[in-house]
């Protein structure tokens, strides 16, 4: 027609118009012949004759053969150009075909006629118009056709749509929406289900490859978001009825991805969906909704994101093109892909590899980063140093929360541009995570924007989160979710509010959109998702606090509490949890009523596991399986069968879906861990030990001395020694920092040693608690520069003085000792401490004390010294080497790893409860074997640091004093450690002046006279206990590191054993008739005629003589305690009345004399000498505990009242 009009105008201007007529006629003829050959309305009529109401002849005359023949015939008769007006042009014939559509009376006829027209090649110019016609007709289906008639049309309709989908996608999607709105009706389920199947089979439009053009605009397939919109609108008609379409949409997005830009304003579509009846399929609706990055109010870059992205660009005055690109993208192209963009920018900063940003940036940016300028070089160096300094990598930096990494940036100055850029990038990243992936940047700040939560609630949650109170935080947030669910599922529709602005970005020339969109259900769902994400993380942290490698009664209580939180979360999520709840109730009942066997617990947890499996089957597998089976197989041809490909994707799909669903996967993993642990316990532990495991509580293992714990502060757990030390701390006594390993460890040793994870947990607890002592003292265990040395002592609930092992100076090794010896005032002390540790280590492995004593004696002879304090530091160091040779001779290895050293010392102390000596002690004193022992670990107080330091034991009662109240007496020694006195290894000095003056041996030193501040402080503490706090008379073990009162430390205090005898014996002959051999300090009350024994062999050979046996020893070391139990008297050359042997002698009613300096015992010859007299086993002597005198021979005795 246009050609005709143009040529007609030309006809008046050309010289040969007849030629123009020929040309025009040929054009018209070609047009008519093309239409005639391309169309065949008669054949179409014959095919649908039963359906078409217009006559065949009418159609032929209008647009059929008769019409074309008539026009061709008329064309041949035309003689002038003007006559051509009566002949229709090509376009006019096309319009004639389209106009005929209105003459068909029925929908079926119209649809089939449109199909016919679209099959004609000459109609290609009007395809869009025909599709719009088709779309309009589809809207009338339900009004004019029955369900059966519509059903008959579906195949044709969708075959037609599929044909035009790729080229005319947008109109096809409109047609899908139209037919869906017209036809979907739950009252016609068969038709509706078939239509849904057709819609799904038509296919989902993926986002395609996201590109950025030279103008920095994002290029994406707009029909992708339209496809989602259409399906979402159809699902909203009746979500439960359209559940297959919902499943298909979820599957498609997970399979092919999603791209939503802020400018799509997709929130409106989601709001409409939320205002439909989603309650019946709430679980699956949330599966879909979690995939949609639209739960935010700020459209475009507004608020903090805009400010930070501007700031990061302005830092370098827009000279950093990469940051300028970030700013423009955030401002004008807001979408969820910017999260990945920022991730890859950080990766680029780490290694300057431009491939990280391939496809995420336009060509000019790719060119810029391919040749890093000075700005990017500096950024690269600064970022790597920052990550190295904080022991992080790029992934870790962006895989936490802003709250956890924000402190890393606190010290950064504004002028440090590279690190400031890093900080801003991280802040923008975490804000985008919050916006698009619902990962809360600051949940309490986020909640404060809404009036659904009052300020008290927000403050309570903020405080719970700040103190890492996971249980309280989780419970509060689950209750919030329950409240928000009511808003989302309220059948009453809610109204949206929007304030959107459109503008063209001046700098980039790019149109953009910004503003706000708000709608209650959308906002409530966004908060729910953010809360759920945080709850998931907190539950994960809560579970990590449990050691699920083994289970105890305490662990089960925590497990039940966590399962209760899971139960509440599942209910709010919309799951049916009756089976889960029943199994959980049985588990709770077992804790309240009966203690179950491990197999019974296994049954219950398997029941819980089965309930979770049923839940997953119901809400996941059965819901999606049908749609997954319809997936097209897109694999490598020939490599996999279709079924295999579908199965592979199904597995991947369910893994992703379960991973993103609230609580389900984490709960399933949690229960699986528990079942695995229970099965493991069955194989590791003997049946009788399983009861111990289930009652084992690792929280009962360790108690710091300097903290109060009402639940654990009792003598049964702490042992008598630690229990009373904790009391002394409350009274502000000077007690060395320390920890107590309670008797719970002793009871649980077998199960701890049997299970590697329990043992590993114990190691961690030991390290943690040693660190507590480090924090208290400022010293570091194992650090040569400031070493923390430890004492490791036993502490049974029922005291066994001297019966068990003690280790001093734990924490020393070759390196630490050498370094310590170079410090001021530690030259001699360091090696003395090490010598003592080597000796106690060797003796713990069965080496006799005499072997070490022999080394000491040989050194004294070699260097001609009488006291060990007279050795030089170098000589002490050599002596340590000799001690090591003793260990080597016995193939005993001294542990140089100080942690393993501590562990072995703890084990030796625990083992010492069951030594023959300890068993015999308990047997004699009628103490049950079941008590076990605690282990007390304290900072070493060095009484051997100088001649002004020392250690001792003081009694508050003296039987020789007639004065009421406190009379301090006892023993101490200088430049020694605590064990020297209590083990009876040294010649002791008196505590008080009165005691010194009463001594039969010439003594010049007393604590009262020579260390008045120490004595005064000790007396003050004793008075506080006995006179002010009402304690019985006390036995106080102490050490002082110098003469000042603040250098005094109390190591132990216990009730003094005071024996009030009703009667006792005395010699009935005048004193002048007694042949005096020597004097010491008396122990006990009365006199004793007996015979000398020195060794076990002597006791065995002489016990049948029916005479009292008097054990004669140079000192009262713990190893000799078992000999004492078979004797009636005790005589030693060293030690004092406060030694463990002397105290035990009193408890056993044994009469003794200790610290007789005239006595020398030559054990290798099995003889002893007192003054000029040499005595042998079986020789008769007499001892007087009242005077501390030793006499040769036996004398008559008499009994007098006590």
- For 555-579, what is the mean pLDDT? 91
Position 508 pLDDT exceeds 60:
no
Fold designation for 1063-1201: Glucose Oxidase; domain 1 (3.50.30)
* pLDDT tens column, 278-336: 999 999 999 999 999 888 888 766 678 888 989 898 988 888 899 999 888 888 777 88
Position 498 pLDDT exceeds 80:
yes
Is residue 943 a contact partner of residue 951, using CB atoms and an 8 Å limit?
A: yes
Pick the range with the lowest mean pLDDT from 154-163, 920-929, 1132-1141.
1132-1141
Q: What is the pTM of this model?
A: 0.71
The one-character DSSP state at 217 is: -
Q: Distances from the Cα of 520 to the Cαs of 287, 477, 494, in angstroms?
A: 20, 19, 7
CA 130 – CA 188 distance, rounded (Å): 29
Q: What is the pLDDT of residue 3?
A: 60
Q: What is the pLDDT of residue 206?
A: 93
- For 1044-1136, strand residue ranges (E) read 1048-1055, 1063-1067, 1076-1079, 1081-1083, 1087-1093, 1109-1113, 1129-1132
Q: What is the pLDDT of residue 302?
A: 66
Backbone angles phi, psi at 950, to 5 degrees: -175, -175
Pick the range with the lowest mean pLDDT from 10-14, 286-290, 742-746, 874-878.
10-14
Q: What is the pLDDT of residue 509?
A: 45
**pLDDT band at 4; cut points 50, 70, 90:** low
**pLDDT band at 635; cut points 50, 70, 90:** very low
**pLDDT band at 821; cut points 50, 70, 90:** very high
Q: What is the pLDDT of residue 695?
A: 79
Position 1136 pLDDT exceeds 80:
no
Helix (H) or strand (E) holding 560: helix 553-573
Pick the range with the lowest mean pLDDT from 230-239, 358-367, 965-974.
358-367
Position 634 pLDDT exceeds 60:
no
**pLDDT band at 750; cut points 50, 70, 90:** confident
Position 1164 pLDDT exceeds 70:
yes
Position 56 pLDDT exceeds 50:
yes
* pLDDT tens column, 522-550: 999 999 999 999 999 999 999 998 888 88
- For 825-839, what is the mean pLDDT? 96
Asked if 941-1056 and 1063-1201 have one fold, the answer is: no
* pLDDT tens column, 881-912: 999 999 999 999 999 999 999 999 999 999 99
Q: What is the pLDDT of residue 479?
A: 93
Helix axes 282-289, 243-256, angle to 10 degrees: 30
Burial class of residue 166 in the structure, from the number of CB atoms within 10 Å of its CB (0-12 exposed, 13-18 middle, 19+ buried): exposed
CA 391 – CA 408 distance, rounded (Å): 11
- For 674-795, strand residue ranges (E) read 702-704, 738-741, 790-795
* pLDDT tens column, 764-800: 999 999 999 999 999 999 999 999 999 999 998 887 7
For the chain, the C-alpha Rg in angstroms (whole number) is: 48
Position 1059 pLDDT exceeds 80:
no
Q: What is the pLDDT of residue 532?
A: 93
* pLDDT tens column, 400-430: 888 888 899 988 888 899 999 999 999 999 8
The one-character DSSP state at 959 is: T
With CA atoms as reference, report the closest residue to 267 among 516, 607, 570, 578: 516
- For 351-365, what is the mean pLDDT? 90
Q: What is the pLDDT of residue 334?
A: 79
Highest mean pLDDT among 709-713, 1037-1041, 1051-1055: 1037-1041
Q: Distances from the Cα of 430 to the Cαs of 356, 427, 531, in angstroms?
A: 20, 5, 16
Q: What is the pLDDT of residue 852?
A: 93
CA 690 – CA 685 distance, rounded (Å): 6
With CA atoms as reference, report the closest residue to 1155 among 951, 1038, 1001, 953: 1001
Q: What is the pLDDT of residue 984?
A: 56
| 81 vs 627, more confident | 627
**pLDDT band at 845; cut points 50, 70, 90:** very high
Q: What is the pLDDT of residue 1119?
A: 72
Q: Which CATH number fits domain 941-1056: 3.30.470.20, 3.90.380.10, 2.70.210.12, 3.40.50.720?
A: 3.30.470.20
Is residue 825 a contact partner of residue 946, using CB atoms and an 8 Å limit?
A: yes
Q: Is 211 helix (H, G, I), strand (E, B) or coil?
A: strand
CA 18 – CA 79 distance, rounded (Å): 9
- For 94-118, what is the mean pLDDT? 90
**pLDDT band at 723; cut points 50, 70, 90:** very high
Q: What is the pLDDT of residue 1140?
A: 66
Backbone angles phi, psi at 692, to 5 degrees: -65, -40
- For 489-501, what is the mean pLDDT? 90
Q: What is the pLDDT of residue 15?
A: 67
With CA atoms as reference, report the closest residue to 150 among 113, 188, 96, 114: 188
Which residue, chain included where needed, has tokens 């060395």?
Answer: 736
Is residue 123 a contact partner of residue 97, using CB atoms and an 8 Å limit?
A: yes
- For 185-200, what is the mean pLDDT? 93
Q: What is the pLDDT of residue 1068?
A: 92
Task: For the chain, give the percent of residues with pLDDT over 90.
Answer: 56
Q: What is the pLDDT of residue 876?
A: 96
CA 780 – CA 773 distance, rounded (Å): 9
Q: What is the pLDDT of residue 1170?
A: 94
Q: What is the pLDDT of residue 6?
A: 67
Position 1120 pLDDT exceeds 80:
no
Mean pLDDT, the chain, rounded, equals 89
Task: Report domain extents, the chain.
Answer: 1-103, 298-437, 546-695, 941-1056, 1063-1201
**pLDDT band at 1115; cut points 50, 70, 90:** confident
Position 143 pLDDT exceeds 70:
yes
Pick the range with the lowest mean pLDDT from 12-16, 501-505, 903-907, 924-928.
501-505
Q: What is the pLDDT of residue 929?
A: 87
CA 397 – CA 419 distance, rounded (Å): 13
């Amino acid at each position: 027609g246009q050609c005709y009009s143009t040529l007609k105008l030309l006809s008046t201007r050309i010289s040969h118009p007849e030629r123009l007529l020929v040309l025009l006629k040929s054009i018209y003829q070609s047009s008519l012949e093309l239409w005639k050959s391309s169309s065949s309305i008669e054949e179409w009529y014959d095919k649908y004759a039963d359906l078409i109401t217009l006559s065949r002849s009418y159609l032929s005359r209008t647009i059929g053969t008769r019409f074309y023949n008539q026009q061709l015939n008329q064309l041949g008769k035309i003689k002038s150009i003007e006559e051509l007006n009566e002949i229709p042009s090509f376009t006019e014939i096309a319009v004639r075909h389209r106009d005929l559509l209105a003459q068909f009376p029925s929908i079926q006829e119209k649809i089939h006629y449109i199909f016919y027209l679209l099959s004609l090649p000459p109609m290609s110019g009007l395809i869009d118009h025909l599709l719009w016609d088709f779309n309009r007709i589809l809207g009338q289906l339900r009004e004019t056709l029955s369900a059966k008639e519509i059903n008959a049309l579906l195949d044709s309709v969708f075959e037609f749509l599929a044909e035009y989908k790729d080229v005319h996608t947008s109109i096809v999607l409109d047609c899908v929406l139209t037919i869906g709105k017209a036809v979907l009706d739950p009252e016609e389920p068969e038709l509706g289900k078939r239509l849904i199947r057709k819609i799904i089979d038509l296919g989902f439009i993926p986002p395609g490859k996201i590109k950025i053009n030279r103008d920095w605009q994002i290029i994406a397939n707009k029909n992708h978001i339209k496809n989602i919109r259409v399906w979402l609108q159809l699902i909203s008609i009746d979500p439960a009825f359209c559940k297959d379409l919902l499943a298909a949409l979820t599957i498609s997005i997970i399979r092919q991805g999603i791209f939503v830009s802020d400018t799509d304003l997709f929130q409106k579509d989601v709001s409409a969906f939320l205002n439909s009846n989603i309650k019946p399929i709430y679980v699956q609706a949330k599966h879909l909704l979690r995939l949609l990055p639209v739960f935010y109010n700020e459209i475009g870059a507004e608020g903090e994101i805009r400010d930070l992205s501007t700031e990061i660009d302005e830092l370098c005055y827009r000279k950093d093109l990469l940051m300028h690109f970030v700013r423009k993208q955030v401002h004008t192209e807001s979408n969820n892909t910017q999260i990945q963009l920022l991730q890859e920018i950080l990766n680029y900063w780490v290694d300057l590899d431009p491939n990280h940003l391939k496809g995420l940036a336009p060509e000019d940016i790719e060119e810029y980063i391919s040749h890093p300028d000075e700005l990017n070089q500096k950024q690269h160096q600064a970022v790597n140093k920052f990550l190295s300094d904080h022991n992080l990598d790029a992934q870790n930096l962006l895989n936490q929360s802003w709250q956890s990494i924000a402190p890393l940036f606190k010290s950064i100055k504004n002028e440090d541009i590279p690190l400031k850029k890093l900080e801003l990038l991280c802040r923008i990243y975490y804000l985008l995570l919050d916006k698009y992936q619902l990962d809360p940047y600051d949940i309490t700040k986020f909640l404060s924007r809404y009036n659904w939560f009052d300020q008290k609630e927000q403050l309570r949650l903020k405080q719970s989160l700040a103190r890492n109170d996971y249980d309280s935080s989780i419970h509060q947030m689950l209750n919030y979710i329950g409240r928000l669910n009511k808003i989302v599922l309220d059948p009453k529709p809610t109204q949206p509010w929007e304030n959107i602005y459109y503008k063209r970005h001046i700098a980039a020339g790019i149109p953009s959109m910004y503003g706000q969109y708000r709608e209650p259900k959308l906002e409530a769902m966004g908060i729910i998702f953010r809360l759920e994400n945080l709850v998931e993380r907190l539950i994960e942290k809560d579970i990590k606090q449990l050691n699920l490698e083994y289970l105890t009664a305490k662990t089960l209580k925590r497990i039940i509490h966590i399962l209760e939180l899971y139960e509440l979360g599942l209910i709010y999520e919309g799951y049916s949890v009756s089976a889960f709840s029943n199994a959980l109730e049985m588990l709770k009942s077992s804790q309240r009523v009966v203690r179950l066997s491990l197999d019974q617990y296994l049954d219950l947890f398997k029941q819980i596991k089965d309930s979770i499996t049923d839940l997953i089957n119901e809400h996941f597998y059965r819901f999606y399986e049908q749609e997954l089976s319809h997936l097209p197989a897109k694999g490598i041809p020939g490599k996999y069968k279709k079924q295999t490909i579908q199965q592979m994707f199904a597995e991947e799909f369910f893994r992703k879906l379960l991973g993103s669903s609230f609580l389900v996967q984490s709960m399933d993993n949690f229960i699986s861990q528990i079942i695995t642990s229970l099965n493991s316990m069955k194989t590791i532990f003997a049946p009788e030990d399983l009861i111990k495991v289930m009652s084992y509580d690792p929280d009962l293992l360790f108690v710091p001395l300097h903290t109060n714990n009402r639940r654990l502060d009792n003598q049964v757990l702490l042992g008598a020694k630690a229990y009373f030390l904790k009391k002394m701390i409350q009274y502000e006594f000077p007690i060395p920092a320390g920890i107590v390993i309670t008797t719970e460890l002793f009871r649980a040793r077998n199960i701890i040693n049997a299970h590697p994870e329990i043992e590993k947990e114990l190691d961690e607890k030991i390290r943690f608690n040693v660190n507590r002592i480090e924090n208290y003292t400022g010293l570091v265990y194992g650090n040569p520069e400031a070493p923390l040395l430890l004492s490791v002592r036993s502490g049974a609930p029922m005291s066994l003085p001297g019966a068990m092992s003690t280790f001093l100076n734990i924490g020393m090794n070759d390196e630490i000792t050498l370094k310590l010896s170079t410090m001021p005032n530690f030259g001699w002390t360091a090696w003395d401490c090490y010598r003592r540790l080597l000796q106690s280590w060797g003796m713990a492995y069965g080496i006799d004390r005499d072997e070490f004593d022999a080394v000491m004696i040989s050194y004294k002879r070699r260097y001609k010294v009488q006291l060990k304090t007279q050795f030089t530091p170098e000589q002490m160091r050599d002596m340590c080497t000799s001690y090591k040779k003793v260990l080597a001779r016995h193939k005993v290895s001294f542990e140089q790893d100080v942690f393993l050293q501590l562990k072995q010392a703890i084990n030796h102390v625990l083992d010492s409860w069951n030594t023959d000596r300890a068993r015999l002690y308990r047997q004699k004193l009628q103490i049950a074997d079941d008590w076990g022992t605690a282990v007390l670990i304290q900072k070493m107080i060095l009484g051997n640091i100088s001649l002004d330091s020392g250690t001792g034991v003081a009694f508050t009662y003296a039987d020789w004093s007639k004065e009421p109240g406190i009379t301090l007496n006892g023993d101490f020694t200088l430049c020694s450690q605590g064990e020297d006195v209590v083990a009876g290894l040294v010649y002791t000095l008196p505590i008080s002046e009165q005691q010194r003056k009463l001594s039969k041996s010439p003594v010049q030193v007393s604590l009262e006279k020579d260390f008045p501040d120490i004595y005064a402080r000790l007396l003050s503490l004793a008075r506080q206990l006995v006179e002010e706090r009402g304690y019985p008379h006390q036995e106080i073990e102490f050490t002082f590191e110098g003469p000042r009162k603040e250098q005094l430390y109390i190591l132990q205090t216990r009730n003094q054993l005071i024996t009030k005898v009703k009667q006792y014996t005395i010699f009935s002959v005048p004193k002048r008739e007694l042949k005096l051999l020597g004097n010491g300090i008396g122990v006990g009350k009365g006199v004793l005629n007996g015979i000398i024994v020195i060794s076990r062999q002597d006791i065995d050979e002489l016990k049948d003589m029916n005479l009292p046996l008097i054990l004669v020893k140079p000192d009262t070391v713990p190893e000799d305690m078992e000999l004492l139990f078979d004797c009636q008297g005790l005589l030693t050359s060293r030690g004092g009345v406060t030694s463990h042997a002397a105290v035990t002698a009193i408890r056993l009613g044994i009469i003794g004399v200790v610290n007789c300096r005239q006595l020398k015992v030559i054990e290798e010859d099995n003889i002893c000498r007192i003054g000029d007299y040499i005595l042998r086993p079986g020789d008769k002597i007499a001892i007087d505990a009242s005077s501390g005198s030793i006499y040769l021979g036996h004398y008559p005795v008499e009994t007098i009242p006590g």
